[in-house]
Structure 1
Amino acid sequence: MRNGFVRLRVKSGKPVVIRVRSYGFELGGLHKIRKIPAVVRTTSPGEDGQRRSTPALQRMGRASRPCDAAGMPGAGAGRRRGSRKVRGILFDVDDTLVDQSTSAREALVAHVTEADLLGAFSNADEAVTIWREITEHHYARYLMGEVTLRAQRHARVRDFLTQAGVTGAQDMSDEDASAWYSAYASHKHSRYIAFADASPSIARLAAHYRLGIVSNSSLAHQRGKLRAVGLLSFFGDAVVCARQHGAAKPASSIFHAGCALLGLRVGEVAHVGDSYLTDAVGARLAGLGAVWLNRRGRNLRDPAEGIRVIRSLYDLPAVLTD
């Protein structure tokens, strides 16, 4: 769940770029979108690596298509159809199960202080803000497939050190950039903590649902993080990450891969995450039940049809069964 940019092809056939915000998204940077277009086509890589335009859910924005409690399409006007029971749940990790934002902030301040760079900024808040903005920019490039996960880390380090006034920062070698990032990551790893509602909620859900993870990070990284906070045992091998899968959320294929790991059909699975676009809208377009975990109470006046909104994981069972 990170800010970024996603290209969508809407009914007119004209490609548009949507700026990803954790609380919503904008079309062309000008117009707020409150309903998903009637027909949306997303581009994703095929098995041979070529990007293709693939049909997403049809007529998602039409009020005449009611949705069941899990956010799945219901019967059309004049028809009644039994809702499909949710049997599995996929979760995002960062800022959904694990308090990534707090650990990242504390880690950066510790690392910058250790590197004697804090004096280059007016205060710690400025350093954190600059790092976050740089991270959002380069992580968006990674989501678009422009750079690798490792390359975006190197770029973040170079840009941040440039902002700190370090001479020759843009010429820093990949090895030195990796070392700097690894030191920061070490601070972050030691500060990982699960949200208070994560463990009890997951333990309760595990008795009734198959559980899995869909993340835009790497497998080793996220499995290690989940292990560190005591949650990995709930998910076992049902963890799919963008680095190994080859596509990142909101691409439908990564959600479908998660469903496959659970051994369930797409319509039997709901996805829960903190990012409105990459998690909630992405899952909805992929055909899953969509639940947006809005922990911070971000203001989105009119979420897209079929997306359930919760403030805590304690609220999840109710939206899956009501």
Structure 2
Amino acid sequence: MKVSVISMMAGINKRPRTLIFDLDNTLIWDERSVKEAFEAVCLFAQQEAGVDGEALEALAREEAERLFRSYDTYGYAEAIEVTELEALWARFDRGDHPMLRKLEEIAPVYRREVWRNALSRAGADGEKADDLSSKLAERFMAERRSRPFVYDDTFTVLTALKPTHRMVLLTNGDPSLQQEKVDGVQGLGEFFERVFISGHYEVGKPYSIIYEKVLEELGEEVRDCWMIGDNMLTDIKGANGIGMTSVWLNRYGREPIEGMKPSYSVSSLSELAALLA
């Protein structure tokens, strides 16, 4: 089992007391969940309206990005890293920030508009697009919720690490949705002492302030913590920014971003366990 040591920063701690894990596409396989949800919904639309399912998926993704960016909530959503695809199924019913309440209000309209516009662009007539858009919006929410996938090594590695490490989650996004993702995988939340969600803090990774707040609430020093995540622009950049040991989980052999070096790079959670051993 090969572990790639990308760089060794001064003062790196080889025996961390606390492991800070990212959630999406680190422990849970969110990309697969979303992809399969789209495929199921677009197949249904193909059967109901005669549109091309693959084309509809591409159009729905385009419309989601375009429309989500048009709302005045976009700046806040970007800061806490709520994506346009998450807004297709998030309830936004937790958290106190006024923008979360506004997102809660906007979301039902947003979902219908995304599917209506995509259907129209895919060739469905106007009346059919109007009638079917609400069904597709509801169906996507249900399909995504029915697919709480985790990676094959998630539970094995967490079980192995729990006796010897303090473990917490630090995830960007809407408080209600991110907590739902954790709760939707039976037993996942039991491994973690705390779940920190950017929506409770107004900004997310890579901003240093959220890392500082996590350390303060845990009573930990930066030298005693490692950050493990798949996203170089949030997980790795943020950890590096405060001098925390960073572990890039690079399952798909992606090229690193120039000028951004994690402390370690691993291709699986199993390699992380070997590194810690």
Normalised to the residue count of structure 1, the TM-score between the two structures is 0.62
- How many residues get paired? 241
- Which of 37, 46, 49 is residue 107 of structure 1 equivalent to? 37
**Structure 1 segment 207-246 matched on structure 2, within 5 A:** 207-229=163-185, 230-236=187-193, 238-246=194-202
Letter in 2 for 1:304: M
1:97 is displaced (CA, Å) by: 0.8
- Structure 2 equivalent of residue 129 of structure 1: 58
Aligned to 2:78: 143
Is the 2:13–2:245 contact (alpha carbons within 8 Å) kept by the matching residues of 1?
no
**What does 1:292-303 align with in structure 2 at a 5 Å threshold?**
292-300=248-256
Corresponding residue number in structure 2 for 1:49:
none
Secondary structure in structure 1 of the residue aligned to 2:149? coil
State yes or no: 1:206 paired with 2:162. Answer: yes
Structure 2 vs 1, CA of residues 320 and 262 (structure 1 numbering), >3 Å: closer, same or farther? farther
Q: Output the CA distance in 2 between the equivalents of 1:83 and 1:96.
A: 22
Assess if the C-alpha contact under 8 Å between 2:7 and 2:262 holds in 1: yes
Q: Is the 1:70–1:290 Cα contact (8 Å) retained in structure 2?
A: no
In 2, Cα distance between equivalents of 1:261 and 1:117: 52
- Contact 1:214–1:254, Cα closer than 8 Å, also in 2: no
- Please tell me the residue identity of whatever aligns with 1:209: H
The alpha-carbon deviation at position 134 of structure 1 amounts to: 4.8
TM-aligned CA deviation for residue 133 of structure 1: 4.5
Q: Structure 1 residue 153: deviation in Å?
A: 7.8
Going from structure 1 to structure 2, the CA distance change for 1:70 and 1:201 (only over 3 Å counts) comes to farther
Give the Å deviation of 1:240. Answer: 1.0
Q: Which residue of 2 aligns with 1:6?
A: none
Tell me the secondary structure at the aligned position of residue 309 of structure 1: strand
The aligned counterpart of 2:272 is 316
- Per-residue Cα deviation, 1:214-252 (whole angstroms, up to 9, x for no partner): 11123332233223323110014x111122221122212
What's 2:234 paired with? 278
For residues 146-193 of structure 1, the C-alpha deviation after alignment (integer angstroms, 9 at most, x for no partner) is: 97554578546524431221749xx9xxxx97x965542221111111
Distance 1:283 1:251 in 2: 9
What SS does the aligned partner of 1:304 have? coil
Distance 1:153 1:232, change over 3 A: farther
Report the alpha carbon displacement of residue 82 of structure 1 after superposing the two structures with TM. 7.6
Structure 1 residue 108, shift from structure 2 partner: 2.1
1:71, 1:308 within 8 Å by CA — same for their partners in 2? yes
Aligned residue for 2:251, secondary structure, equals coil
1:83 deviates by 4.2
Q: Which shows bigger deviation, 134-143 or 84-93?
A: 134-143
Greater share of strand:
1
Pair 1:91-2:26 in alignment = no
For residues 45-70 of structure 1, the C-alpha deviation after alignment (integer angstroms, 9 at most, x for no partner) is xxxxxxxxxxxxxxxxxxxxxxxx79
Q: Aligned residue for 2:93?
A: none
Give 3-state SS (helix, strand or coil) of 1:164's partner: helix
Letter in 2 for 1:247: V
Letter in 2 for 1:309: S
Query: Larger relative CO (CA 8 A, sep 6+): 1 or 2?
Result: 2
Q: d(CA) in 2 for partners of 1:287 and 1:198?
A: 26
Give structure 2 stretches of 5+ with no counterpart: 83-98
Q: Secondary structure at the match of 1:95?
A: coil
Picking from 108, 118, 130, the partner of 1:163 is 118
**What stretches of structure 1 of length at least 5 have no aligned partner?**
1-68, 75-80
Secondary structure of 1:94's aligned partner: coil
Moved more, 128-137 or 84-93: 128-137
TM-score by length of 2: 0.71
Distance in structure 2 (CA, Å) of the matches to 1:219 and 1:108: 23
Structure 1 residues 233, 82: CA separation in 2 closer, same or farther (over 3 Å shift)? closer
Decide whether aligned partners of structure 1 residues 288 and 152 sit closer, same or farther in structure 2, where only a CA change above 3 A counts.
Answer: farther
Give the drift of 1:204.
0.8
Conserved 8 A contact 1:98-1:195: yes
Q: Which has the higher helix share?
A: 2
